Structure formats: C-alpha cells, structure tokens
Amino acid sequence: PAIDAMVTALPKVSLHCHLIGSVAPQTVLDLARKHGIALGRSAEELYDHHSYADLAEFLRVLDVVGSLIRDVDDFHRVAYESLTAGGADHGVLYREVHLSPPGHPGVPYPRIVEGVLAGARDAEADTGVRAAFVVGLCRERSGVAAVELVEQVVEHRADEVLGIGLDYAEVAGPPGRFVEAYRLAARHGLQRTAHSESGPPQHIEVLLDQLGCSRVDHGYHVVDDPVLTARCVAERVPFTCTPVSSDIGRYSGSGDGSHRRIAEMVDAGLCVTVDSDDPPMFGTDPTHDYRVLAHALGYRRDQLAAFTRNAVEACWLDETDKAGLR
Ligand code: ES4
Ligand code: ZN
C-alpha cells in the first residue's frame, strides 16, 4: 500500500536501538557455528517473542546472543548489518547505537569499540548511513561496576562514543544507584540517557535531576504525573519510545500496551521519538514501528515526520551535523 512505501522512504533518526538486540537470525547461526556453540534451538525459536514470558526471559536471550559476539570481525559484522539492512534500507540516516559491554563477557571494551567503529565506517561508505554510540551501563550490576565501565569509556575515548545509557532489568537497579557513574561521565563531557520503561515518574525526575540525562529512553510513566509532564514539555525533554517492543513487553508496566501512552505523550506536547529497541527480537524494524503507530493511532505523514524532527533535535550531534540531517 501507498502508506507503507511512504513510511519506508520517510527519513528516520534512530535513538533507541540496541546492538545485541539487532543481530539477524542468520548471523546468530553463523556466529554460533563459528565459535562452536550449540544453541539447542533454531534462531527463529530463539527470537520467538511469544516465548518471552517476562522481561527476565527476554534478557537471557540477549545474553545468549551477546555471548556469540566475540572478536573484532563479529562486532564489525553485527554493526555493519544492523546499520545497512537494518537501518539504511529503512530510511535511517543516523543512529545512536546502544552498546552493552557487560553483555559480552570476557570481551575487552576496546575490542568492542574497534569492531563497531570499523563496521560503522564501512556501513557509511556503502550506504551513507551515519552512526555514533551510547555505552549502556547494566543496572543489574553494582554502582561500582558502572563507575568502572565509565572509566573504560574515558580511558579508551573515541569521538563516536557520545555518551552513556542505563539498561537491563529495571526492577533490579533503581537509577539513584548510578549517580556516581553519571557524575563521572558528566565531568568527562559524555552525554547521558537512561531507560525508564516501567518505573514511576519519580524515577524520571531522578534521571533529570541526579543523573543529568538529556533524554529518557521510553519514559511512559511521565504522563502519570501532570506536573512532571508540564516540566518535560517546557524543557523539551525527549522520550525515545519503542511502540512494538513495549507493546509486546507488557511487563514494561505500560498496562494496555504502549500505544495509548505514546498517544498521551504526543497529545501532551512532549518531544517523542520512535524506534525499534531490538528489531529482529521483536519481529520489527524501523519502518514497522512507524507503520504500527500510523495504523494504531491514525498518524499521517506530518505526524510521522515530526517524530524524525524530534529525533534530530534530541540526538547528540553538534548543530552543524544536525543541520545535515534536516
Ligand atoms: C533492554 Cl530493559 C531492555 N529492554 C529491551 N532491550 C534491552 N536491551 C538492554 N536492556
Ligand atoms: Zn531499550
């Protein structure tokens, strides 16, 4: 249909997509074979999102995939494929890719950066897609471990690593635990974001006031608090929403799924962006997330284009580079 072609071609800026959650099924099989790992199931079974009974189960699938990405070539391949077939082919002009170093046990941080930077360089040369990176701290771990990861980021500084995030199981790690790591990142000029998907509005306040976040990943519960909502509208705080992932993941605490909340956020005047989170693992892609919102909420081209404009505003490029996306 015409709307689908329009949505595919619509320029997109991708601010909420995890590398480990972006690995194509065939690549999972190839990496498992390469490293002599028996998956015990097909990639399709691994990625059958109906089988994720809860967030914990989903995150353990991420652990399996993360453990298969080991050497520089692996990181190159996964970054390249996710930015080209998973990005440029869907109109993605620019992506800030979320990395999760703790999701690759035994892999030194500089090796991850070397591989993904090389993959991104080749993806840009072949398709024009641009990429930068966000290093996710694992909230299931201690505040000390988070500080140590930020120290790694600072020690092995790369221009394309723009900032830090906070992900994995939200119930296991309230944001306040990570104040020290975020302060360290701030002192070194790193940008900050963090996930707040199931958490209450108070957690979003912690992100803004104590972690110094310039945006919020998901943030669906902002609309539970009218005062916080008004503040976030006034301050143009961006929220990186992921309709398909959050709708499947009812464990996100979004109740009736995320679409209703996304509509409330848009209607309140908040700065909302749209992305896929973990595309193949949730059976989605950048086009599909836009299409789902178009169908569920009746959004037309203007509203969909506004999501991209918001993402250009929310991204961490400097003003000159942002101008190139407009
Ligand atoms: C994630 Cl909490 C969560 N949800 C979806 N994807 C993720 N990747 C890392 N943490
Ligand atoms: Zn996420």
Which ligand 1 atom is at minimum distance from the Cα of 167? 10
Return the CATH number at 191.
Answer: 3.20.20.140
Which ligand 1 atom is at minimum distance from the Cα of 197? 2
For ligand 1, whether the C-beta of 251 sits within 6 Å is no
> Which residue has 């992506």 as its token pair?
95
Which residue has a Cα nearest atom 7 of ligand 1?
Answer: 168
In whole angstroms, give the CA distance from residue 260 to residue 195. Answer: 19
The pLDDT value recorded for residue 227 is 98
> Which residue has 């975020």 as its token pair?
182
Q: What residues sit around ligand 2, an ion, with C-beta below 5 angstroms? A: 277
Within the chain, which residues score under 70 in pLDDT?
51, 249-257
Can you read off the two tokens belonging to residue 303? 């509203």
* Burial class of residue 106 (count of CB atoms within 10 Å of its CB; 0-12, 13-18, 19+): exposed
The pLDDT value recorded for residue 57 is 85
The pLDDT value recorded for residue 256 is 54
For the sheet containing 191-192, what is the strand order? 12-18, 92-99, 130-138, 161-167, 191-192
**Rounded distance from Cα 175 to ligand 2 centre (Å):** 15
Ligand nearest to the Cα of 59, by number: 1
Q: Could you report the predicted ipTM of this complex, rounded to two decimals?
A: 0.96
The pLDDT value recorded for residue 93 is 98
**Rounded distance from Cα 168 to ligand 1 centre (Å):** 5
Tell me the pLDDT tens digit for each residue of 28-75: 999 999 999 999 888 888 898 776 778 888 999 999 999 999 999 999
Tell me the pLDDT tens digit for each residue of 186-222: 999 999 999 999 999 999 999 999 999 999 999 999 9
The pLDDT value recorded for residue 51 is 67
Domain count for the chain, please give it.
1
For ligand 1, whether the C-beta of 168 sits within 6 Å is yes
The pLDDT value recorded for residue 4 is 82
Which residue from 137, 167, 282 has its CB within 8 A of the most atoms of ligand 1, so it is best to mutate? 167
Question: Which value, to the nearest 10 degrees, does the dihedral of the CA atoms of residues 309, 310, 314, 316 take?
Answer: -20
For ligand 1, whether the C-beta of 18 sits within 6 Å is yes
The pLDDT value recorded for residue 251 is 41
Contact indicator for 104, 67 with CB cutoff of 8 Å: yes
Domain that holds residue 93: 2-325
The pLDDT value recorded for residue 254 is 46
Report the chain's mean pLDDT, rounded to a whole number: 95
CB atoms inside a 10 Å sphere around CB 26: 10
